[in-house]
Structure 1
């Protein structure tokens, strides 16, 4: 079953390189050729990719974005968030808009990105993720609906030799069920920069936090809810794919699952009511 294996399309982006010096010039030429065909000088959508020490991962991410299948004009805005590796050199070799944000943090990086973007709509992407060809179109189908200000998508984990796909599927199924539960009163808790979109004007009004604190995109979503609805993009073929390196920081997959279940059970009742209005720029997670 396809659902029990990594999708075929990600195989072409499994580059064996460990650092920028190993990347052949012809790979950049190939990616840039696709970018030149797709990038618009009058974009409707600006895709913001932020990166901190992702000299190879951002190459993969932008390579997938260069293969988007869409008629919607878009641009890619890459933000180097004060990296100490060769992320800047990688970005400079790619035909995308690029900026440097010396203030450390996801919020400051994305704030600079939306300020430099020129599209009416913003899509957020992470440098360590792979984006399917229909991702942009599926996100925009939702974002362009009446009264919608923000959309978020779903994501899956790439199987490892030692961890088969079915095990990640168990975790993802639980994660998706929780997301459905949270969506009714607290959709901002499901809004991650891995796959999220919004109207740029609303994003500029709300603004990102300017500290190095996780949850910047959820806080932005919370503040934008005064301008419209938040919706989900559930299309399975448009799920974003990422390595499980962050997930596995807590131990084995089953240990992570146990921690997640315990945490969500403790929070379950809180999901039945929305957060009261508060200053997201000063609150803690």
Structure 2
């Protein structure tokens, strides 16, 4: 886990203080060329990214995924969830496979991705997250090795805001690791987030997909987060009816996701205290 700074693999994909329009023609051309290798005719793995108004973020995610190395053929798909910014323009300029889902919400976007994907294995990614080169390989290996493994999820860290430091987030992540271990006993599905999970696609389709009664929107979760009837937790519970979920703990599979939702609480300290009070309040449910 990176304590004081972002890991070296992530640095080429950070594009600090850059919007997509700030990229040079050469930078866009190079990224487009790298992404050409991720639209094979017969993919074994599908990486699917839902995006809503992520025009100035998603190129970073795509940049990181374009550096993926795997023995499996990988396709990258973006589901444009009715964006009103320049997300579609970015996708067109980079030549990424994409589809428009007009029905707003991550469950609908992820479900369309599940139906459009061609790979045997389906990996969920997000438009504000960076993925290390071996992420796809590490996530798929447990499913490829055992038919009993129907899904996987991985570890994550946070990208600090501009001029922010990693150390405080590292402490927060240590606390999160403890909670993950505790919840694994009875409510492992609460550990599984859509920006860092994978599944056997056909089993996902057969057991109900990402369909939920409520709807997670992009600025929050509808309903009780502890019950987590959002699309990722629901999918995890569906997958467990046909096998087991494997926790991928390899350091080379740790992703780095945006800290903007933590910062919505006002500060890292406020986010930490809010969540620790919540977790302590429901501790008995996990033991």
Task: Normalising by structure 2, report the TM-score.
Answer: 0.89
The change in CA–CA distance for 1:96 and 1:260 in structure 2 (over 3 A counts) is same
Q: What's 1:188 paired with?
A: 189
The correspondence of residues 41-56 of structure 1 with structure 2, limited to 5 A, is 41-56=41-56
Residues 33-53 of structure 1: CA deviation (Å, up to 9, x unaligned): 222234421111100011110
Q: What's 1:208 paired with?
A: 210
CA distance in 2, matches of 1:44, 1:65: 16
Q: Which runs of 5+ in 2 are unaligned?
A: 222-229
Q: What's 1:62 paired with?
A: 62
8 A contact 1:50–1:110 mirrored in 2: yes
CA distance in 2, matches of 1:52, 1:38: 22
Q: What's 1:122 paired with?
A: 122
Q: What's 1:225 paired with?
A: 240
Q: What's 1:144 paired with?
A: 144
The change in CA–CA distance for 1:64 and 1:168 in structure 2 (over 3 A counts) is same
Give aligned pairs, total: 272
Q: Which runs of 5+ in 1 are unaligned?
A: 273-285
Q: What's 1:278 paired with?
A: none
8 A contact 2:38–2:76 mirrored in 1: no
The correspondence of residues 1-285 of structure 1 with structure 2, limited to 5 A, is 3-16=3-16, 18-146=18-146, 147-160=148-161, 163-205=164-206, 206-209=208-211, 211-213=214-216, 214=221, 215-272=230-287
CA distance in 2, matches of 1:172, 1:246: 14
The change in CA–CA distance for 1:2 and 1:193 in structure 2 (over 3 A counts) is closer
CA distance in 1, matches of 2:191, 2:95: 32
The change in CA–CA distance for 1:106 and 1:62 in structure 2 (over 3 A counts) is same
Residues 13-60 of structure 1: CA deviation (Å, up to 9, x unaligned): 222565443332222221122222344211111000111100021111
Residues 165-190 of structure 1: CA deviation (Å, up to 9, x unaligned): 11111100110111111112211111
8 A contact 1:51–1:83 mirrored in 2: yes
CA distance in 2, matches of 1:162, 1:228: 44
8 A contact 1:53–1:86 mirrored in 2: yes
Residues 130-180 of structure 1: CA deviation (Å, up to 9, x unaligned): 110010111112222320111001111123455421111110011011111
Q: What secondary structure is seen at the aligned counterpart in 2 of 1:164?
A: coil
8 A contact 1:20–1:56 mirrored in 2: yes
TM-fit CA distance, 1:267 = 1.3
CA distance in 2, matches of 1:179, 1:90: 36
